[in-house]
Structure 1
Amino acid sequence: MTDLIQLASQPAVWAALATLVVMEVVLGVDNLIFISILTNKLPADQQTRARRIGIGLALVLRLGLLGTVAFIVHLTEPVFSVFGQAFSWRDLILIGGGLFLLWKATKEIHHTVDPEPKADGAAGGSLGFGAAIGQILLLDLVFSIDSIITAVGMTEHVPVMMIAVVIAVVVMLVAAEPLSAFIARNPTVVMLALGFLIMIGMTLIAEGFGAHVPKGYIYTAMAFSAGVEGLNMLARRRRRSAQGEARVPAGQTRRA
């Protein structure tokens, strides 16, 4: 407790906490998009529970990894080399996670463009609950290791990292339902989000091979694309509104 009070009295610690919270929230967007897309494929009565379990697993994983932070730091040490390129366990995890994201996003894009007919005509149920949780857990692990290693480079105080992780996961939990509902209401956003996942997957693979990609470029591109899609949604909404207003007078004339 004394150590926590001493940390709380240092302005540098508060600055590090604020920076870490922002970083964790931004990195959590990738995870949240994946969870939203995946859980929207489940039956309606399972979606909320799957989202809460997925986000809860992210919290447990990150807090657990923070408890073994000394081990996590060693994941960045090279374990073997291929043609002069050294690879660490972190690199292998990022490459594996990136490949999984590419496979999953490509599969979902194919299903969206050319959906398979469902025998029962239901909108959901094409994915099992256990399979969804397993895939969420896999991506939680990849994103958690990446975020923890980044956090270690920003501060040496584990309690600060834990507080930042808890705040970020709470934000994810609050945003999960609105984001999932928004994606479900706007099918074109699903394709955009899947494109984001492909870009994130390629970024993970590139970083696994030692090519650092500034996160600012990635999130700027995502924000620009989201802004363009927002304008398209606004245009479609106004077009539908104008068409509806144009039909009303004609209907009234016919009734007269």
Structure 2
Amino acid sequence: MMEGLMALTSEPAAWIALATLVVMEVVLGIDNLIFISILSNKLPEGQRIKARRIGIGLALVLRLMLLASIAWIVQLTQPVFSAFDHPFSWRDMILIAGGLFLVWKATKEIHHTIDPRPNDDMFATKAVGMTFTAAISQIILLDLVFSIDSIITAVGMTDNVAIMVIAVVTAVSVMLFAATPLADFIGRNPSIVMLALSFLMLIGTTLIAEGFGAHVPKGYVYAAMAFSALVETLNIVARRRQAKASAA
């Protein structure tokens, strides 16, 4: 660890590796953050910030724990069994399970958004505690999937543990800073909710494909997400200007 910190003071290449890894970890953290934002927005107002902090805090703890067991993490990429002429590792199975969960969750939320149940408020008191517990449980599950993917990516980019720790802490700090603004923005714009759920379906499908050995370049995925977000932002701006013009 100390050797890695010393490398940052003496080797320019270490700083390049750190900057690259920080950007990569922040980008990978977007998936995690979107999921946490959508789940936390389904909770009562007083529980949302708490749920976000717990979710992001657990993401940091899981990532640091996984960094502390790099030897075990590397073993997760070793084949466990083969099926259909494709070797599957523990990482593959975790990605497939996480991807299936994301697709199921996003599909369920899209259905609920389009066709909400008519009597949701009848049992609101009972549902709050269960909803908070369920939200935290689902956040923990997806934190684990995203953390394993994040750390394996970090291990593939550098063998300097200090750089990996700094990059992970920086990325999670950005997530913590951006969590509430992102969740509030999603909450204020219903069309963004549908777009974010579509992103989760895309991310889930990508995880499943990665688990089955089909490499999907992350740049294409995030470029498509960024383009969609830009188009929706322009739509929001256009709707607001039309509303102001109508009010005037």
TM over 0.5: yes
Q: Is the 8 A contact 1:42 1:126 kept in 2?
A: no
| Residue 64 (str. 1) matches residue 47 (str. 2) | no
1:202 aligns with 2:217: no
The answer on whether the counterparts of 2:55 and 2:136 sit within 8 Å (CA) in structure 1 is yes
Partner of 1:12: 13
CA, structure 1 residues 234+14, in 2 after alignment: closer, same or farther (shift >3 Å)?
same
Aligned length: 244
> Aligned residue for 2:121?
119
Note the C-alpha offset of 1:130: 1.2
Letter in 2 for 1:190: V
Q: Which amino acid aligns with 1:84?
A: D
RMSD: 1.5
1:223 aligns with: 226
3-state DSSP class of the match of 2:82?
A: strand
How far, CA to CA, are the matches of 1:203 and 1:46 in structure 2?
A: 31
Distance in structure 2 (CA, Å) of the matches to 1:243 and 1:126: 42
Question: 1:100 maps to what in 2?
Answer: 101
Q: Which has the higher helix share?
A: 2
Q: Residues 238 and 125 from structure 1, CA distance in 2 versus in 1: closer, same or farther, beyond 3 angstroms?
A: farther
TM-score, structure 1 length as denominator? 0.92
Percent of aligned pairs sharing the same letter: 70
> What amino acid does structure 1 have at the position aligned with 2:186?
I
Larger radius of gyration: 1
Q: What do the CA deviations read for 1:124-166 (whole angstroms, capped 9, x no partner)?
A: 9496211111100100000000011111111001111001000
Q: How far apart in 2 are the matches of 1:176 and 1:210?
A: 32
Determine the C-alpha separation between the residues in 2 that align with 1:36 and 1:197: 12
| Unaligned residue ranges in structure 2 (runs of 5+) | none
Structure 2: distance between partners of 1:199 and 1:164? 25
Aligned to 1:252: none
Q: Do the aligned partners of residues 116 and 188 (structure 1) sit closer, same or farther apart at CA in structure 2, a change above 3 Å counting?
A: same
Consecutive unaligned residues in structure 1, runs of 5 or more? 246-256
Q: Deviations over 1:2-29 (max 9, x none)?
A: 5222442111111111011100100000
Deviation at 1:120, TM superposition (A): 4.5
Say if 2:7 and 2:14, in contact at 8 Å, map to a contact too.
no
Match of 1:160 in 2: 163
**Is the Cα–Cα contact under 8 Å of residues 20 and 164 in structure 1 kept in the other structure?**
yes
Deviates more, 1:8-17 or 1:212-221: 8-17
Whether the 8 Å contact between 1:42 and 1:127 is mirrored in structure 2 is no
- Tell me the distance in 1 between the aligned counterparts of 2:220 and 2:209: 14
Amino acid corresponding to residue 51 of structure 2 in structure 1: A
Q: TM-score, normalised by structure 2?
A: 0.95
* Aligned counterparts of 2:227 and 2:88: Cα–Cα separation in 1: 33
* Pairs within 5 Å for 1:82-101: 82-101=83-102
Question: In the aligned structure 2, how far is the partner of 1:66 from the partner of 1:51?
Answer: 23
Contact 1:77/1:88, CA 8 A, preserved across alignment: yes
Q: Is 1:191 the counterpart of 2:194 in the alignment?
A: yes
TM-superposed deviation, 1:116? 1.2
Deviations 1:76-106 (A, max 9, x none): 1100001211100000000000000000000
Q: Does 1:241 align with 2:233?
A: no
